[in-house]
Amino acid sequence: MASGIPYTPKPATDIFTPYQTDIDRRQCKRIVPMRVLALGLGRTGTASLRAALKELGYTDTYHMMSASVENPPDCLCWMDAFAAKFEGKGKFGREEWDALFGHCQAVCDWPAVAFAKELIEAYPEAKVIITTRDVDSWHNSVMKTVNWRANDPELKAVANFDWAAGLYHPMLRKFWKYFFYDDFENRGKERFHDYYKEIRELVPPGKLLEYRVSSGWRPLCEYLGEPVPDKPFPRSNDAENFVQRCRTQNRKQMMNVIFRALIVGVPVVATALSATFAYTHYLPKFAQSTPVWTGAS
């Protein structure tokens, strides 16, 4: 637990986000082999690639949505990883990656890209893919989506009260700080070029697939040694849907907070009011009717 942040269970009152599981990955082990490291930056078709790998039969592909939406306690593992790499606290190696990714045969998207070197070293048997796109269109897409989300005042506010948002928002901010120097608008394109250069230097020629999801199934399947599905390549997670989905998530989490306040807060307030009433109403009468002991014999 490099970050020092303890696990806390999901409140029973979080009824508006029933799709969010509550698995403490710190206690997990690897149950399937890691086969693919898809280390392209987010907003290069990673959600579509995740859907494609699922269609090809890969047992789950880890994606930012795994932590932001599906199992928020995963954010604790990511905070441990950030603390170990960027803050010099504790360790985060193969054992910890297996705990976080043990149920997955592939990983993609951010925040995994912040640990590309560590993942390549931890899983030398895995095939490496980098999804990419034109840097200008990529930067524009991220500005409208994840950069907006990282600076979303509504999410920041909800994170002060909601269990899942309270796990996700600090992790997202940590990633934005360390990977994009907390200045994506001005340094995002520079980071894009530096990052892809780094991956090309880390992975030997012939062991890396540079891939655009617009090219469809064939180059992906040929690289992975999989048959080409007889169906269209999946397309998902466009910018408009991203923002709408995030805003819907905010609303649901706000409803969790309100519901918890009603269930937990009202009885507490009622108890306090009852105690206050009893004190102010009965105690004076009791005092008046009770003889005062003076200590005299």
Average pLDDT for residues 215-219, to the nearest whole number? 97
Rounded to the nearest integer, the mean pLDDT of the chain is: 90
d(CA 122, CA 119): 5
| Residues whose CB falls within 8 Å of the CB of residue 169, separated by 6 or more in sequence, listed in order | 155, 156, 158, 159
d(CA 62, CA 84): 20
Average pLDDT for residues 201-224, to the nearest whole number? 94
Question: Residue 283 corresponds to which tokens in the numbers above?
Answer: 């105690």
Ordered structural domains, the chain, with CATH: 25-254 (3.40.50.300)
Whether pLDDT at 297 is above 70 = no
Contact in structure between 109 and 64 (CB atoms under 8 Å): yes
Average pLDDT for residues 16-40, to the nearest whole number? 97
Rounded to the nearest angstrom, the gap between the alpha carbon of residue 241 and the centroid of all alpha carbons in its chain is 18
Give Rg (Cα) of the chain: 25
d(CA 54, CA 105): 10
Which of 34-43, 191-200, 287-296 bottoms out in mean pLDDT, i.e. has the lowest? Answer: 287-296
Which of 91-100, 203-212, 267-276 bottoms out in mean pLDDT, i.e. has the lowest? Answer: 267-276
Whether pLDDT at 175 is above 70 = yes
| Residues whose CB falls within 8 Å of the CB of residue 43, separated by 6 or more in sequence, listed in order | 133, 138, 141, 142, 145, 146
Whether pLDDT at 284 is above 80 = no
Q: Which residue has the higher pLDDT, 151 or 263?
A: 151
Backbone φ and ψ for 209, nearest 5 degrees, come out as -105, 115
Question: Does residue 3 come out as left (phi exceeding 0), alpha (psi in the -120 to 50 range) or beta?
Answer: alpha
Q: Where are the beta strands (DSSP E) in the chain?
A: 36-38, 61-62, 106-108, 127-131, 208-211
User: 131: closest CA among 68, 63, 190?
Assistant: 63
Average pLDDT for residues 267-290, to the nearest whole number? 50
Average pLDDT for residues 251-255, to the nearest whole number? 95
Q: Which residue has the higher pLDDT, 2 or 210?
A: 210
Backbone φ and ψ for 130, nearest 5 degrees, come out as -125, 115
**pLDDT tens digit sequence for 53-87:** 999 999 899 999 999 999 999 999 999 999 999 99
